[in-house]
A and B are shown apart, each in its own frame.
Chain A
Amino acid sequence: MSLSIDDVKKVARLARLAVTEQEAQTAHAQLSGIFGLIGEMRAVDTAAIEPMSHAQDVVQRLREDRVTEHDQRELFQSVAPQVENGLYLVPQVIE
C-alpha cells in the first residue's frame, strides 16, 4: 500500500488543516513510514485474533439516567466570542 501526495492533501482538507507544499512533503514521508510499518505487521497471521477497540481491556461504566447538570449558560457564555439571545454566534455556514 502506498500513499500519494494527493492523498495527504485530501486528508488535510478533511481535517481542515492548511498545509504548505513543504509540510505536505514532510507528512507524506512520515505517513509513508507508518504505512511501511503496517506493511510489516500485515505479514503476521491475525486471523484468529479479535480486533482491539481500546488499549485497555476494561468495559464501559454506565451512569444512571438522572439530570445532574444545572443551567450555567451565563458562565459559559461569558467566555464566548459572540452571543445573542442566548445563542452562540459563529461565522455563517450554509451548505
Chain B
Amino acid sequence: MTWEIVIGLEVHAQLSTSSKIFCGASTAFGAEPNTQADAVSLALPGVLPVLNKGAVERAIRFGLATGAYIAPRSVFARKNYFYPDLPKGYQISQFDLPVVGNGQLVIQVPAQGNSPAYEKTVCLTRAHLEEDAGKSLHEDFHGMTGIDLNRAGTPLLEIVSEPDMRSAAEAVAYAKTLHSLVRWIGICDGNMQEGSFRCDANVSVHKSGTPFGTRREIKNLNSFRFLEQAINYEARWQIETLESGGTIRQATVLFDPDKGETRMMRTKEEAHDYRYFPDPDLLPLEISEEWKERVRATLPELPQARQARYVSELGLSVYDAGILTASREMADFFEAALNEAPGHAKMCANWLIGEISAQLNRDGLDIAQCPITPQQLGGMLKRIADNTISNSGAKEVFRTIWTEGGEADAIIEAKGLKQVSDSGAIEVLVDEIIAANADKVAEYRSGKDKLFGFFVGLAMKASKGKANPAQLNEILKRKLAG
C-alpha cells in the first residue's frame, strides 16, 4: 500500500486597510521603526481597542467570494502568550465564533508529467480576524533584542483550509488561487516579499484507508516555491521516519530555504495552553444581512465566473480561460483588447498567453506594467483578422509597438507590411518560380511532396513575406499539380 500525503494550509492575508485593526495608527510598509506604534500598539496601560470597519468589510468580501457562512455574530478572544513582539501578553484573535466559516475554493491543478490537469474543490474551515505581532530583531544590541512594533496590530485574515490537499502541487495550486482571489476582490495586496501573504502548511502522511497520521506544521512560507519544496521535503522525511520504525510527534517546524530542509522549532503547544477566552474589551461583532448585501453589490465578477463565461460564451478552452483569469489585471486586459477586435477571442487569448506573456517574462514585468495597451493589441488583432497582415508581419508590428509604441495601422503603412492578397499578382510570381525551377517541379510531380515547403519558401521570399499565406498555398498547390 502506498503512502498518501495530507495537507491543510493556514494562510495569513494582511488586509489592505490604511489603519490598524484596533487603532488609528498607519499600516504603511517600510516606515522607520516604531513611528507607527501608537499607545494601543504599545499596550500602554488604560488603552482600549476599537474595531476597524474596513477590516470587517474585507472579511465579509472574502466570505461572500468563497460562498461561505458569514457569522451574524462573532466574538474576539485573547490568545495568551508571552513574547515581546506583542506587549499586551496576548494576541486578539477569534476562537470558537469566527467571522467566516465553511467556504470553498475551486482550484486547477496543472498537468505534471503523464498526469493531466484536473479541477478540485478545497473546503475552507474558517477565516477569522486577528492582529499581527511586531518584529523582533536579534542582531547585535549588546545581547538584547530590538523590538519594532510598527506591524503590531496590522489586520490579518487567517484563512484555514480543511486537510483536503494530497500533494505539494495541489497545495501550491490552492495557495495561488487564494492569492489571486484576495487580490481580485481587493482585500490584500498579496505582496509576499513584504509578508502580506504568508502560508503555514500542516503536513502528515498515512497509508490510504487508515486514519490520518500525526501532523507537523511548517511555519511562515513566503513563496510558492518554498511551499512546494518544504512540503515535499517534510513528507519524504515523515515517510522515511515511519518506514525506519520511528514515530512522528506533533511539532512546529521551520523551512530553511538554503538547505532545502525543515527543522524542529518547538513541540506543539496544546491549544488550551493559549488559554483563549473572550476579550472583555471587545463586544460581540454583529454583521447585518443588510450590510452583507451592501458589500455583495460592490463585489466584482469573480474569477471562476469569468473563467466559465470565457469557455461558454467565447469558446475558449478551460486551460486558456484559467490563465486569463489568474489575475484581474490579466482578465481586464484581455477583455479590453477583445473589445477592440470583437469576435476574435481565441486569437486574442493566444497572443496574450503566448507572445505577450513570454515577452513580459523576459523583461521581468507583470501584465499591469505591459508596454502595450489593450487598445494597441486589439488594433493589431483586427489587422490580422482581416488579412491585412500575415503572422510574420504581425510579429514585426508587435515588436515595433513593444519597443517604440505606435498604432498597428500606422506601422503597417510605414513598414509596407500589408500582405498581397491580389491573386493575379501571386499567380505571376508562382508562374515565375515554376519556370525557373523545372527540375524541382519534376521531382515534386513524381511524388516528392516534401518539396512543397521549398516552393512556399521561394514564393514568400519573392513577395518579401507579404503574400497572403493561405492564398499562396492554394495557388501554388494548383499550379504545381500541373
Interface membership of chain A positions 57-73, coded 1 if the CB is closer than 8 angstroms to chain B and 0 otherwise: 01111111111110111
Known: A14-B275, A86-B35, A88-B149. A62 touches B283 (CB 8 A): no
Determine how close the nearest CB of chain A comes to the CB of B276; give it in whole angstroms.
12
Q: Are A89 and B34 in contact (CB under 8 A)?
A: no
A55-B280, A69-B25, A71-B36 are known; give 10 further A-B pairs, CB within 8 A. Answer: A59-B284, A61-B50, A73-B35, A87-B137, A88-B34, A90-B144, A91-B145, A92-B143, A93-B83, A95-B266
Determine how close the nearest CB of chain B comes to the CB of A91; give it in whole angstroms.
6
A20 — which chain B residues lie within 8 A by C-beta? Answer: none
Q: Are A14 and B80 in contact (CB under 8 A)?
A: yes
Determine how close the nearest CB of chain A comes to the CB of B480; give it in whole angstroms.
73
Cα of A93 to Cα of B266 in the assembled complex, Å: 14
Q: Are A93 and B145 in contact (CB under 8 A)?
A: yes
Q: Are B39 and A76 in contact (CB under 8 A)?
A: yes
Assess whether A2 is interfacial by the CB under 8 Å rule: no
Interface membership of chain B positions 201-234, coded 1 if the CB is closer than 8 angstroms to chain A and 0 otherwise: 0000000000000000000000000000000000
Assess whether A85 is interfacial by the CB under 8 Å rule: yes
Assess whether A4 is interfacial by the CB under 8 Å rule: no
B97 — which chain A residues lie within 8 A by C-beta? Answer: 53
Assess whether B273 is interfacial by the CB under 8 Å rule: yes
**When the two chains form the complex, which single residue of B42, B145, B149, B278 contacts A54, counting CB atoms closer than 8 Å?**
B278
Assess whether A30 is interfacial by the CB under 8 Å rule: no
Interface membership of chain B positions 32-56, coded 1 if the CB is closer than 8 angstroms to chain A and 0 otherwise: 1111111100101000001111111
Known: A16-B82, A86-B34, A87-B137. A60 touches B284 (CB 8 A): yes
Cα of A88 to Cα of B278 in the assembled complex, Å: 29
**When the two chains form the complex, which single residue of A67, A91, A93 contacts B26, counting CB atoms closer than 8 Å?**
A67
Known: A89-B146, A95-B266. A53 touches B278 (CB 8 A): yes
Between A and B, 30 residue pairs with Cβ closer than 8 Å are A15-B80, A15-B275, A16-B82, A53-B75, A54-B280, A55-B280, A59-B284, A60-B285, A61-B51, A62-B51, A63-B51, A65-B17, A65-B53, A67-B18, A72-B38, A72-B39, A73-B32, A76-B44, A84-B146, A86-B33, A86-B148, A87-B34, A87-B148, A88-B84, A89-B146, A93-B83, A93-B84, A93-B136, A95-B265, A95-B266
Q: Are B25 and A91 in contact (CB under 8 A)?
A: no
Assess whether B456 is interfacial by the CB under 8 Å rule: no
Listed from nearest, the 5 A-B pairs whose CB atoms lie closest are A65-B54, A68-B24, A87-B146, A86-B33, A62-B53
Scoring A63, A72, A82 by chain B CB atoms within 10 A of each residue's CB, the highest score goes to A63
